[in-house]
Amino acid sequence: LFVQNFFVVLCLSLSPRPAAVSSLNEKMRNFDDDDEDDEDSDDSEGEFADEGDWYASLIAGERVGEWLDVIEEETKQQRSNDDEEKEEEEERKAVKTASSKRVLAAETLQKSLDLLAAKGEEEDEEEDVDARRKRSADAVVADEEFSRSRSESFSSDDSTFERVAESEKEEAQKVLVEALEAKLAEREENVNALERKVEEMEMEFRKASEALRATHKELEEKESKMQEERDAREEKEVEAFLALERTFQLEMGSLKKELESSERDAETARAELEDIKRKLEMDIAREKEVSEELRKKVEELKGRQSEDASGEVEKKIRENAQLTAEINVLKDKVAHLTALESEVTRLKEKETLNASLENEIEKMRVEIANNKLNDSDAVIDENELSALVDENASLKEEIGTLKLKVESLQESLKTTKATIDVFQATTERFDLETSELMDERETLVKKIVDLERMLQESIEEQKALQQALADEQEENTKLVLAQKEKASAPVPVASSSSSSSLSSTTERGILINHHDENELRRQGVPVGEELDALTKDVGDRAYKKLYDHQAEALMIEAVRIVDARNTAKDSVKKFDNAFESVRNVYACTSRPLAGEKVTILYNRKQLLPNNSAVSGEEKAMFAMVGYNGWSLQHAIKVDLQPIENFHSPPKNHDQEKCEWWEFALDVPSEAMVIDFVVGDSKGKFDNNNGKDYHIEAAVETDEIVEDNSREAQIEREYHLIAEKRREKNHEELAFARKCAESAVRAKAASLAKKAISSIRGEFRVFTDPLRPKAGERVTIRYRPDGGPLTFARAIYVDINFNRTQNHPAKMEKVNMRAGLNGGVLETTIDVPLDAHVVDFSFRDNGIFVDDNEGADYHCDVIGASGIAPKLRIAHLAVEMAPIAKVGGLGDVVTALSRSVQEQGHHVDVYVPKYDCMNYKEIEGLRKVDQFHYGNDVINIYQGFVEGVRVTFIDPECGHFRVGCIYGRGDDHVRFGYFSDACVAYMKRANCFPDVLHVHDWQTAPAIWSPDRPKTTATALTIHNLQFGQDLIRRAMIECTFATTVSPTYAEEIKHHPSINVIPENESTKFKGIRNGIDNDIWDPSNDEFLPLRYDWQTCKEGKREAKLELLKRMRMDATDFESKPIVACVTRLTEQKGVHLIKKACRYALEKGAYFVLLGSAPDDRIANDFANLANEMKSQHPGRCGFFFSYDEPLSHLIYAGADIFCVPSIFEPCGLTQMIAMRYGAVPLVRRTGGLRDTVFDVQLDPARAASYGKSCNGYNFDGEHEQDIEYALKRALGDYFDREKWNQMNLPSVGMRQDWSWTAPSERYIDLYWNARRKANRQQ
């Protein structure tokens, strides 16, 4: 540093002009002043840096050239002012010399700076730039002192500059050294102080930065959280507003319908008044005739008076007395006329009511206008409202006309006072008719009053809802609940006390009064005695059909048994060792009889003579059993059981050598010989030295008979089997009759509901009458609003008959004209005599059509000639209840087949002939065919299961003789073989159906079988998309149409890669159709497992008894049981069923004071252990209030459905689900997770009033969306809260509501039938 500063000062000392030195000295003085103020000024650091930068640039040589240029310019200016040339010449020489020295000094300075910079970087690479600048500034101060001294010496005389420079050089150097040493010490102290200060400031800066970053991060998190809360609140407010809007629109629609209903009632009243008028006119005419007869009698009386005056006087006295009595009657009639005048006054009051209604309508119009201002999306049809106003005015005028007519009738009645005798009879009839008229008018007035009340309530609700939306301080969740509670109205329930006013009550809870019967009859709906007669006729036909079927099945079985027995007689003779008992080996406890049960004892020591002390597993034994020399059926395995406390050992055996074990057999009726061998788990067998053991089976008809021909044997066997099955067959016949009658009444209820809804205009498409008669006329009505033709200018209807494409009476593009009701189009046609059904669809002039999603609309016809068109359906499935059931697939196949067959169509079901099937449920099983298929032989069997014909496929390769249905690891091979074999048999037997319906991936390969003809349409039903997705994908492409088991599940899976492969031109071929339940099996009014049978009208009493019985069965505390609800769950305990949600429901219900009952089994050991621990924990914490049963129990399940108050189904996913529908059938209120079929069947009392109305249902339960425990907790909290509020629970009456809803297979099967017909038409077109 010293050398560096020395060269700088040297360079300055050689400068020829003191002005340049003065300028530099001034800058250095300013720098020193700034440096001294560093300790007191906050800006000192910046100023120091600025000056340091300038001086550092000078030291680094970056500005040396610039400084030299300045000095050169000043030198030239001074030289031009000197007048003496000598001095200029000397000065020029001096300048040149100084310049050369300055250049040399600058070069030397630059080199020194470079060396010093390199050395400084090596010694301290981390030295701060600002510190170096400060050290450089110290050198500048020293330079300033030297420059000041040099400047004073140069100011005396410019001419002596060169002389003085050499003499003062040494002195300047000494001064410079001293100044540099002093300044160096001072600057070092300053630098150290500044470095410490910088370090402190840097530390404070880092701390402040970290604090600032933490604060900034915290602010960002708070802002993000606040934004999320604002978004959530806005979203919930929007949802709440939309819900309110939908509720408002729904209520507006309901009010419109009520207005239309009121108008129809008024029209009916007018028609009845006209009838009364005609009757009164007829009565007046009859009264005139009677008056004429009276006049004649008076004349005869006068003639008689002339003959016998005295007698006449007495007679006259009697007549006067009679006349007096009749006059009294007349006075009563006059009083009655006064009452009639009061009725006219009532009509005037009705006019006042109508005027009030007009005022309410005007208020409603203002309210609608306000709503339009508030919500631009609201859609209110003011034209319809204006039409209602006009119709009200017309109604008022007609009422006035009726009043005048009534007054004219009064005038006519007054003219009949002279006819006393006839007037008395007329009065009685008039009293009756007037009473009926008054009843009708009272009903009309009541409806109008109710309508006014509903309008007022709607207005008040809208105001309340708007006020609720404006209140931002209330929490959003409470707001939504409050709004929806206001929007939901209590469900009206008919009490049993009103039964006297009903002419009939259908099974589904549809109430029909006397005034509806005539209209329903006109609509073609059977009611009253007609329905009873139809029900009896259908029941008788079902009884006879099943009886004939049973007789056929018994005969088939008798023939099979006789033929098998006769065939086996030869094989019996081959076994000389066929004995009932072999000493010390085996014995029968009774004589073996064909068709009966027999118990066989076996001596274990025969198999294991020297193995008396063995473990239980090694000790286990089994028998392989067959019949008729192992030829009757496949060998079956039967476990042997040890006999404990054997008090009556068989005779003729050495008991000390015997250890008896036993096994029981049901001997087939055709068995002549029982064949068996015995083995153990170690693979050791006792087969009688290769001869096997054989026992001869006797026949009950072994006695000597005169006729032993085959026909006589069959006859005897037939009666024997019939006697054995008599009780069972009678039960089946009674059940068949009941099912048929229930189906008729259910159909009638559905028709009645549809007819009433059609009359009220609730459907877009309907006919009048609902079921026309062949040869008569029918009006087709269509409301385009809300459909594909909403904006069509002109609409036409295409009409066909009998589900065919080209009926002779087919009509195309029939113009639809405007009907009486606004917005409804109609056309009237003649129904052909041979038409069993009318088919129609709607279209415009362009490409838009409304054809019920390709299935067309249909109208059944009564009394048509010829045979009604029928379908032939074949189901291919690997499950069928109750013979081979694993899951819900088997239930659907059986129930859907039965329901379609009950509607008159021919149905066949094809299933594999498993060796593990429940053969007892198969009637008339027999072998009907055998054929070669590839390298294998296939046996074909047929029988009946629940009245449906079933074909069984039994290949000799043994695919289905493996003891199970699933789980072999080769299921895809076995079921693919089955699918191809079914189509091969259809081709062989020439029995291809109209529609081949396959179920799930197992039978999907039948769709693309090359043997299937193009005329056979194909249908695929997806029950669960978890398995066989590749096969389902191909089937989706090639099938005619596809379905799944609920509409919501169809929406959930429609974007799945296996589903989303449908061509765009066939986008409508995938449908969701809800499954149903068998109402005849799940029927609380005829359930043998319930302590008290009940229906929807008596559900309170029935469920009370079932609840008490359930608590006793589960050994729970029944104290004050009516005040505590039972929360129940019947399910398989798997992850799909939401086991964590079930646990939460259990804990929460018990914490809130309710009961909890669980029935179910867990195939997963981990889940089973979890629930076992849960049961122990809950029983210890809540003794007497919880019950668990971890195995399926059919009677207990019925009792749980009946005794439960709230039924939980919290499935994570559920394609359809049946338990929630069964629960509602028994009056249990469902609480479900809103997924799949659960969403389509359960409508929340607070959240779903609009959605329920769109389904044509009432709210019937509770649901939730999430998968977390707090989600089910919130739903259960609402349900329990409603239950504990007894007044609210009784008002909602949810158990009765659920029982009245129809979840049977009636509607789903009709939808399937429509799709079957449409598929057949498509297949025929492809041909």
> CA-CA distance, 672 to 677, in Å (whole number)?
17
* CA 116 – CA 343 distance, rounded (Å): 128
pLDDT block averages, 10 residues each, the chain of length 1327: 55 48 48 47 43 46 51 58 61 60 56 55 50 54 54 48 60 71 78 80 80 81 81 77 70 67 66 66 64 60 49 50 58 59 62 65 64 47 59 64 60 52 53 60 61 59 55 46 39 33 41 65 81 85 82 81 74 66 87 86 82 55 87 79 77 83 86 88 85 82 65 84 82 80 79 74 82 92 86 90 87 85 85 93 88 87 89 96 87 92 92 91 88 92 91 93 88 95 95 96 95 94 90 94 94 91 82 90 90 92 95 93 95 93 96 95 91 94 94 90 96 93 96 95 93 88 94 96 94 93 91 93 80
> Given this model, what pLDDT does residue 1177 score?
94
Residue type at position 731: E
pLDDT tens-place string over residues 1171-1191: 999 999 999 999 999 999 998
Residues written for the chain: 1327
| Residues contacting residue 311 through CB under 8 Å, at least 6 positions apart | none
Selection from 1136, 1131, 1139 nearest residue 1027 by Cα? 1136
Residue 172: per-residue pLDDT: 66
Neighbours of 231 (CB within 10 A): 10
What local confidence, expressed as pLDDT, does residue 1135 receive? 92
CB burial readout 1138-1165, b (16+ within 10 A) else e:
bbebbbbbbbbbbebebbbbbbbebeee
For every residue of 509-530, DSSP letters joined together read: S-EEEHHHHHHHHHTT---HHH
Q: Which residues contact 656 (CB under 8 A, 6 or more apart)?
A: none
Confidence (pTM): 0.57
Q: Cβ(1041)–Cβ(1321) under 8 Å?
A: no
Torsion of CA 461, 463, 464, 470, to 10 degrees: 140
Can you name the residues that pair with 512 across neighbouring β-strands? Answer: 504
DSSP secondary structure string, 1030-1045? HHHHHHHHHSSEEEES
Residue closest to 158 by CA, chosen among 19, 11, 10, 12 = 19
Distance CA 601, CA 660 (A): 6
CA distances from 901 to 545, 580, 887, 891, 1306 (A): 13, 48, 23, 15, 11
Amino acid found at 326? E
Q: Is 953 helix (H, G, I), strand (E, B) or coil?
A: strand
* Long-range contacts of residues 631-635, Cβ cutoff 8 Å, at least 24 apart: 631/568, 631/571, 632/564, 632/568, 632/668, 632/670, 632/671, 633/668, 634/915, 634/961
Report the C-alpha gap between 662 and 600 in whole angstroms.
6
pLDDT the model gives residue 892: 92
pLDDT of residue 413: 54
Identify the pLDDT of residue 440. 59
Give the whole-angstrom CA distance, residue 148 versus residue 150: 5
pLDDT in tens, 302-358: 555 444 444 544 554 555 555 555 566 655 655 555 656 666 666 666 666 666 666
Cα 255 from Cα 268, distance rounded (Å) = 20
Non-local (6+) Cβ contacts of 54 within 8 A are 27, 63
Q: Could you give the CA distance from residue 364 to residue 360 in angstroms, rounded to a whole number?
A: 6
Pairing of strands 872-876, 906-912: parallel
- Rounded to whole angstroms, how far apart are CA atoms 854 and 799? 14
The SS3 of residue 768 is: strand
Q: Position of tokens 């929406």?
A: 1051
Q: Do residues 566 and 627 touch, judged by C-beta distance below 8 A?
A: no
CA 1215 vs. chain centroid, Å, equals 8
What is the C-alpha to C-alpha distance for residues 946 and 923, in angstroms, rounded to an integer? 9
CA distance 177 to 784: 112
Q: Residue 962, Cβ neighbours under 10 Å: how many?
A: 14
Phi and psi at 825, nearest 5°, equal -105, 150
Tell me the three-class secondary structure of 783-848, residue by residue: CCCCCCCCCCCCCEEEEEECCCCCCCCCEEEEECEECCCCCCEEEEEECCCCCCEEEEEEECCCCC
Strands, DSSP E only, in 658-707? 660-666, 673-680, 685-686, 693-696
Which pLDDT belongs to residue 185? 79
DSSP H or E stretch at residue 229: helix 161-307
Q: Structure tokens of 842?
A: 């709607």
Tokens 């003496």 identify what position? 84
Structure tokens at 774: 């062949």
